[in-house]
Structure 1
Amino acid sequence: MEMSLTRINEVTIILYALCVLLYFIDFLNNNRKAKQAAFWLLSIVWLLQTIFLFARMFETGRFPVLNVFEGLYFYTWVLVTLSLALNKFLRAEFIIFFTNVIGFIMMALHTFAPAQYESAAVSSKLVSELLLIHITMAILSYGAFSLSFVFSILYTIQYNLLKKKKWGKRLLRLEDLSKLDYMSYVLNVIGVPMLLLSLILGIIWAYIKVEKFHWYDAKVLGSFMVLITYSVYLYIRIVKELQGKSVALLNIASFLVLLINFFLFGSLSRFHFWDS
């Protein structure tokens, strides 16, 4: 029963992460399709959470709010319920997105905190799976940033060819500037929330697993530096409404920060190893 309930929570975490990603896209671009997809995913999350609550009520014979972990779960359920109501009746993308980021954090804390599980085997397995989800999401975000970097490089090449009026087969084989710029932007919109959620899960794992976790660890600081750098890119691209070569160069510089974090800061980290 305990493992079955934790499996429900793990599926819920994955769906919730996709939901937050879509709400982030809607928050930035006012994308109706992303908002509708996020709403239906959030509805599924709410349904799974409700099933879990009733299963716990059946298992314990009481309303499950009598300890901190049960309280966290009910708090998350309340946040999801409020988000669904806001999504249905109000245009409040900013509030909905950040409410669900908080909900995701609380849900992850509840799901992966080992103290609430009676079985040590279940607890250990969940902590390992938390690390797996964290690494997978980090790699996916890095993949999105890498493709975005490629598009920015192609944009720079295309821009220089056009400026120097070098017409030829190379120019024809490249996409037009507006499409290269847009694809680079879209991939960063996907990568930033994915990296944010990965960092949230990574910090939760570190607090559970690492005896001496420090916020000033090189890998932790480097990862937040990457997140801030790409967030600045999105701010300049959306709020300042800047496009063109300068933004492409900023994106290239952001990817260099990512590489420094991955190769240099990773080697300097006191605890961040792939085999942890």
Structure 2
Amino acid sequence: MVTRSWLFDAMIYMYALSLLFYFSDFASANRKAKRMGTGLLLFVWGLQTAYLAASLYNHLTEWAFMRSDVLFMFSWVIVTVSLIVNRFFRIELFVFFVNVLGFAILALNIFGNPNVQPINSGWDINDELLFIHISLAIGSYAAFSFAAIFSGMYVFLHKSLKAKKFSQTVMRLPSLEKIESYTYLSVIIGAPLLLLALSLGIVWVLLEGNSDLLYDAKVINSFFVLAAYAFYLFQRVSMRISGNKLAVWNLAAFCIVVLNFVVSNLVSGFHGWIWD
């Protein structure tokens, strides 16, 4: 049964959005974000259940499952278990990371299924996977850019207030507390987006069948970027560090982003198209 990918694309994007809300709840104990994440994940579960039921019905006369059926069932089980855990236990970080695995498995199933055809007839199904990967990566870099701008504002305002320089520019800036909260929100959005983009990138490498691509300069540096922002969040959430020190660290993390975008692309074996 040949299926157009628009349904799966919607499922992937809703899954990614639900994980953003879950991560926001974990990072800032946002109950509203948790409800939004749960609602989106329930919708993803409903779509998965409907498709799985239809697929199983079409295979009633077969004794063996296809690989795509097994992967889809595995992803469905992960989503089901995570919803149960989310309902009865408060371990948001477990729910988030187990669903990152479910997200990657779902993507591997969809884009590795020969019966799924891309929406754009001129594309290969892997081109559609790359489009989603790139859109998530761009979203993460945009969020990190906003975080860096806010951090720069924080450092400037902190230095000006400390020196008691109350210029018109200083007076028009938001408070230090608001700037710090905007920075934190930007990182909360950017970090999980990058993690999901990397998971799709790994899926693409697996489908290409060339594990050497995992050692590409841009891939390795992307993990350094993720680690830098993970440490930012660790300092903010667990160590309770805030203020100018955290803003400076965030600017340092953005330097790794710039390094990743500029230098790594110049030596990357398969990301050089950015400069074409």
Kindly tell me: are residues 173 and 147 of structure 1, through their superposed partners in 2, closer, same or farther at Cα, counting changes over 3 Å?
A: same
Q: Provide the residue aligned with 1:113 in structure 2.
A: 112
Task: Give the C-alpha shift of residue 209 in structure 1.
Answer: 3.3
Map 1:163-174; keep pairs closer than 5 Å. 163-174=162-173
Task: Give the C-alpha shift of residue 8 in structure 1.
Answer: 2.1
Query: Unmatched 5+ residue regions in structure 2?
Result: none
Task: Give the C-alpha shift of residue 60 in structure 1.
Answer: 2.8
TM-score normalised to structure 2 length: 0.92
Q: Provide the residue aligned with 1:194 in structure 2.
A: 193
Kindly tell me: are residues 235 and 65 of structure 1, through their superposed partners in 2, closer, same or farther at Cα, counting changes over 3 Å?
A: farther
Equivalent-residue separation in structure 2 for 1:145 and 1:65 (angstroms): 46
Any idea what SS the aligned residue of 2:215 has?
coil
Map 1:82-121; keep pairs closer than 5 Å. 82-114=81-113, 116-117=114-115
Kindly tell me: are residues 143 and 119 of structure 1, through their superposed partners in 2, closer, same or farther at Cα, counting changes over 3 Å?
A: closer
Map 1:6-85; keep pairs closer than 5 Å. 6-62=5-61, 66-85=65-84
Equivalent-residue separation in structure 1 for 2:117 and 2:168 (angstroms): 64
Task: Give the C-alpha shift of residue 213 in structure 1.
Answer: 3.2
Any idea what SS the aligned residue of 1:159 has?
helix
Letter in 1 for 2:93: F
Task: Give the C-alpha shift of residue 41 in structure 1.
Answer: 0.4
The one-character-per-residue Cα deviations of 1:23-61 (angstroms, maximum 9, x if unpaired) are 111112111001100111011001100111122123333
Q: Provide the residue aligned with 1:209 in structure 2.
A: 208
Q: Does 1:146 align with 2:153?
A: no
Task: Give the C-alpha shift of residue 89 in structure 1.
Answer: 2.0
The one-character-per-residue Cα deviations of 1:61-107 (angstroms, maximum 9, x if unpaired) are 35897132211110111111111212222222122112211111111
Equivalent-residue separation in structure 2 for 1:64 and 1:202 (angstroms): 33
Kindly tell me: are residues 65 and 166 of structure 1, through their superposed partners in 2, closer, same or farther at Cα, counting changes over 3 Å?
A: farther
Equivalent-residue separation in structure 2 for 1:64 and 1:70 (angstroms): 13
Given that residues 117 and 123 in structure 1 are in contact (C-alpha distance below 8 angstroms), is that contact kept between their aligned partners in structure 2? no
Kindly tell me: are residues 249 and 119 of structure 1, through their superposed partners in 2, closer, same or farther at Cα, counting changes over 3 Å?
A: closer
Equivalent-residue separation in structure 1 for 2:167 and 2:244 (angstroms): 21
Task: Give the C-alpha shift of residue 212 in structure 1.
Answer: 6.2
Kindly tell me: are residues 174 and 96 of structure 1, through their superposed partners in 2, closer, same or farther at Cα, counting changes over 3 Å?
A: same
Task: Give the C-alpha shift of residue 123 in structure 1.
Answer: 11
CA RMSD of aligned residues (A): 2.3
Kindly tell me: are residues 212 and 88 of structure 1, through their superposed partners in 2, closer, same or farther at Cα, counting changes over 3 Å?
A: closer
Kindly tell me: are residues 207 and 240 of structure 1, through their superposed partners in 2, closer, same or farther at Cα, counting changes over 3 Å?
A: same
Of stretches 199-208 and 17-26 in structure 1, the one that deviates more from structure 2 is: 199-208
Kindly tell me: are residues 128 and 175 of structure 1, through their superposed partners in 2, closer, same or farther at Cα, counting changes over 3 Å?
A: same
When the two structures are aligned, how many residues end up with a matched partner?
274
Task: Give the C-alpha shift of residue 210 in structure 1.
Answer: 6.7
Question: Quick one: percent identity of the two aligned structures?
Answer: 38
Equivalent-residue separation in structure 2 for 1:135 and 1:81 (angstroms): 28
The one-character-per-residue Cα deviations of 1:168-203 (angstroms, maximum 9, x if unpaired) are 211111111111111101100110000000011112
Q: Provide the residue aligned with 1:155 in structure 2.
A: 154
Query: Unmatched 5+ residue regions in structure 1?
Result: none
Equivalent-residue separation in structure 2 for 1:75 and 1:123 (angstroms): 31
Of stretches 64-73 and 181-190 in structure 1, the one that deviates more from structure 2 is: 64-73
Task: Give the C-alpha shift of residue 215 in structure 1.
Answer: 2.4
Task: Give the C-alpha shift of residue 272 in structure 1.
Answer: 1.6
Q: Provide the residue aligned with 1:218 in structure 2.
A: 217
